Copies of this chain bind each other. A is one copy, B any other.
Amino acid sequence: MLYLIGLGLGDAKDITVKGLEVVRRCSRVYLEAYTSVLTVGKEALEEFYGRELILADREDVEQEADSILKDADSSDVAFLVVGDPFGATTHSDLVLRATQLGIPYRVVHNASILNAVGCCGLQLYRFGETASIVFWTDSWRPESFFDKVKKNRQNGMHTLCLLDIKVKEQSLENLIKGRKIYEPPRYMTVNQAARQLLEIVENQRARGEEPAVTEDTLCVGLARVGAEDQRIAAGTLRQMCTVDLGGPLHSLIVTGGSLHPLETEMLSLFAVPEASPASRGTGDEPRT
């Protein structure tokens, strides 16, 4: 049996009791290592679970599904995923390969960022399609995710924006030379995401378009959702450019316009303090 087990979002103890029982009895336990991170590392998980974990990075999952699935027809293998196994990244490819090989599978669900963001008080059933914001480079500055935000706002829906993660990326030079040397991991902050969004807004204005979002659009920044030190900040898109939410992972919500009174009241618990008049609206805020 192949078990796909969600680890939730915070630390080692966010696994379910059912999930932990399975982990402790499986013959091999893989940890998916590329789409997300917990606030604790592999070692803390291994100590709590009492099991050695085999890291599975993107190459492994896509190219080496068969080694993960080896003997899973006669023994139990666990594949651990931060969040839920069918959350932000689906693991359909592994399920399909298992099914082709006649290996049964079972899913042990857990919280994912896609439902845990409800803790800010915005109602989950009012979210539209989820967007992803990628790191821009000097030459690659895609604006296409903005269409989803626009479509959602036109329909009165909130947009959850998942922010880019760069793990095990190679520099162009190392890639060309075939050197398996990896850059340090990078996690997009709410500040970076908000600045990219504002740049798109300005580009649209320069083209004479009416942007679906402005500096004053109400947004919610979230950091380390589910962890003890999680942070939530509600304020304008401009405020999101400078609010300090600490370490990764961050997510950004662009609200859909009119709010339910309960949503408004909940967001007020997390309101970013108004900036002093001297620092407001000068347009001189640092942008990098």
CA distance A98 to B248 in the complex (A): 28
Q: Is the CB of B109 within 8 A of A116?
A: yes
> A111: which of B13, B110, B155 is its contact (CB, 8 Å)?
B110
Set of chain B residues within 8 Å of A125, measured between Cβ atoms: 88, 114, 129-132, 162
Q: B99 touching A84 by the CB < 8 A rule?
A: no
Q: Mark A183-227, 1 if CB is under 8 A from B, else 0.
A: 000000000000000000000000000000000000000000110
Please give the distance in Å from A89's CB to the nearest CB on chain B.
9
Is A119 within 8 A of B93, CB to CB? no
Shortest CB–CB separation between residue A54 and chain B, in angstroms? 22
Q: Copy number of this protein in the oligomer?
A: 2
B130→A124 contact, CB < 8 A = yes
Which of A10, A131, A162 has most chain B Cβ within 10 Å?
A: A10
Given contacts A129-B155, A130-B124, contact A21 B16 (CB under 8 A): no
Please give, as numbers and ranges, the residues of chain B lying within 8 Å of A96 by CB-CB distance: 262, 265-266, 269
A11, A84, A118, A132: residue with the most chain B Cβ atoms closer than 10 Å: A118
Q: Chain A 29-40 against B: per-residue CB contact (8 Å), 1 yes, 0 no?
A: 000000000000
Asked whether A107 is an interface residue with its Cβ less than 8 Å from the other chain, the reply is yes
- Among B12, B88, B225, B262, which residue has its beta carbon within 8 angstroms of that of A124? B88
Complex contact A112–B110 (CB within 8 A): no
A9 adjacent to chain B (CB < 8 Å): yes
| A129 lies within 8 A of B128 (CB) | yes
Q: Indicate if the CB atoms of A118 and B87 lie closer than 8 Å.
A: yes
Interface string of A74-92 (1 = CB under 8 A from B): 0000000000111110101
Could you jot down 15 A-B contacts, CB within 8 Å? A6-B111, A9-B109, A10-B18, A13-B17, A14-B17, A84-B115, A86-B116, A86-B119, A92-B266, A96-B269, A110-B110, A114-B115, A127-B129, A128-B155, A155-B155
13 additional contacts (CB under 8 A) given A90-B124, A109-B111, A125-B131: A8-B110, A10-B18, A11-B18, A14-B17, A14-B108, A16-B16, A86-B121, A86-B124, A90-B123, A109-B116, A125-B162, A127-B130, A129-B155
